[in-house]
Amino acid sequence: MNPPLPARSRLTIPEYAMALAHVASLRSEDPYRKVGAVAFDFANRVIGTAYNGLAPGYDPDASFWTDRDARRKYMLHAEVNLCSLFTRGNVKLVACTTKPCTSCMQMLCAYGIKEVYYRDDYPESEACAIASRYGIQLVQLADYPLIVSEIDTQPVPR
């Protein structure tokens, strides 16, 4: 049996959320930008995970992926997919691997979410201004523990 871990080795809830969002991002089919998101309720339980991608059941041909600008309008953002899993007022926090775009931040506001964590910046987003206006805690959390494989104890690349 393994000995108990030291107290600080336990992830905080935002760090745990970010790690889950990272894992969700690995399911994205978008070769350019892989985004994952997770929602927690007020008891710090996972409500759901989501990632960016195409609508369920749509299977494009290979040429679809060659032109990023042409396909962008068809990609469903991770936050949109995530919000389809819950109702307003049931979510305490959302963690995303990329700062929400302006539209997604507006939607998170509409769902009453008061804490949003993200790893990677998205400079085109107005999320900071929206969060400030509506009193939402928007925090970049780029320094969280790496996922380590138990087999070789080497960090798994992000």
pLDDT tens per residue, range 68-83? 889 889 999 999 999 9
Q: Which residue has the tokens 């396909």?
A: 71
Res 152: pLDDT = 47
57 pairs with which residues across the strands?
none
Q: Averaged over 13-32, what is the pLDDT?
A: 94
Residues in contact with 52: Cβ distance below 8 Å, sequence separation at least 6, in sequence order: 28, 30, 33, 34, 35, 75, 76, 77, 78, 81
Q: What's the fold here for domain 9-27+36-50+79-140?
A: Cytidine Deaminase; domain 2 (3.40.140)
**Can you read off the two tokens belonging to residue 54?**
């195409």
CA distance 25 to 38: 10
Can you give the residue ranges of every domain in the chain? 9-27+36-50+79-140
| pTM score, whole prediction | 0.84
